[in-house]
Structure 1
């Protein structure tokens, strides 16, 4: 049986995606989670702390996907593997992908005094480090590592956004092949 806190987080994700932060209430989340309205407060102080935890859990999950790419031998292998892990996250953790990359309400982040800023920048720093490694080993042209990482992340995110918004539709396998070809085309332009 799922942990109550996980059930609450999942319910909060669903409601957030349907109604946004402003349309989410603790009562709705409790109802969707199958617990009493008062029971939810045993786990979360208020709506802001629940939303904050949804975001933190999403960032933690995304980071765990990316970390597995560090076991590869070269910078280029790690970069390619990281792109595959991004694909896995976007397709296996659809709710978190959509919340973190497409619908995140940054006004709420401000309300929690920037506590999410570090979590929110982990993936960007991770990709900058992978690109920098590639440039140092000579597998990518020397360039501004941060700008190249942003190009890669933006392109990948745009790709997934097309599928989430239903502007593109393919089977999972077809989508994966297109994603790999797109990422390969980007790399060809960046290779030395």
Structure 2
């Protein structure tokens, strides 16, 4: 992506999140970027196309962070790396992270285009696959991977949303490393509630007998 296109995306994210689709205009964006409105049309034909590009770029970067976890040698390591990749994407790209989760009607779209919705579904399947292989390896209790994935994602999204909105430490600019530590501790507590324990092993053995 060119430097100017990147610059346009950054400012467009800010405007969309601040003013919504109806309050957004190419003229406003041009002023924020420091170019004329006609100059923007060398890159985008419409506001809709620009929004689609914002979402596609957000998912592209998120996938990049997640797919790095496939280099992990074990299910546990791939699970951990995928979680860290999601967190890193959110911290390093807060505008794009928030743009992914803006409801379509809030930005003037009747629905998310199929190609972008498919990207979101692919991210969900990837995360559920990491959970499924942890269950297969006996690291997590055998449950519906999609439901467990929903629980873990809701926790992650909740923590990150509180951080990006500066609600974890009101009135303070919470350091990213401090948040990472808080996030890790919170995930650990949640994970311990889902992990297989000796009692689970005993009950499984008794059921098998």
TM-score, normalisation: structure 2: 0.85
| CA displacement, residues 116-167 of structure 1 (integer Å, 9 cap, x when unaligned) | 2111222211110100111111111111000011111110000011122222
* Distance of aligned partners of 1:174 and 1:71 in 2 relative to their CA distance in 1, 3 Å threshold: same
1:164 corresponds to = 164
Q: Deviations over 1:39-65 (max 9, x none)?
A: 111111100000110111011111111
1:68 counterpart = 2:68: yes
- Offset at residue 18 of structure 1 (A): 1.6
In the TM superposition, residue 109 of structure 1 has moved relative to its aligned partner by: 5.1
Change (3 A) 1:111 1:188: closer
Shift of 1:3: 2.1
Q: Distance in 2 between matches of 1:187 and 1:130?
A: 14
SS at 2:44's partner residue?
A: coil
**Any conservation in 2 of the 1:71–1:78 contact (CA below 8 Å)?**
yes
SS in 2 for 1:166: coil
CA spacing shift, 1:161–1:112, aligned 2, 3 Å = closer
1:85 corresponds to which residue?
85
Aligned length: 189
- Contact persistence 1:124–1:150 (CA under 8 A): no
Match of 2:37, SS state, is coil
Please tell me whether the aligned partners of residues 104 and 112 of structure 2 are also in contact (alpha carbons under 8 angstroms).
Answer: no
* Cα distance change on mapping 1:45 and 1:123 into 2, 3 Å: same
- 1:191 pairs with 2:203: no
Which stretches in structure 2 are left out of the alignment for 5+ residues? 197-209
Deviation larger for 73-82 or 107-116: 107-116
Bigger-Rg structure (1/2): 2
Aligned to 2:58: 58
Partner in structure 1 of residue 103 of structure 2: 105
CA distance in 2, matches of 1:185, 1:105: 30
Contact 1:69/1:78 (<8 A) preserved: yes
Is the 2:90–2:160 Cα contact (8 Å) retained in structure 1?
Answer: yes
* Shift, 1:110, TM fit: 3.8
Aligned mates of 1:111, 1:81 — CA distance in 2: 32
Structure 1: runs of 5 or more not aligned: none
Distance 1:186 1:109, change over 3 A: farther
> Corresponding residue for 2:48?
48
Instruction: Return the TM-score normalized by structure 1.
Output: 0.92
Distance 1:112 1:146, change over 3 A: closer
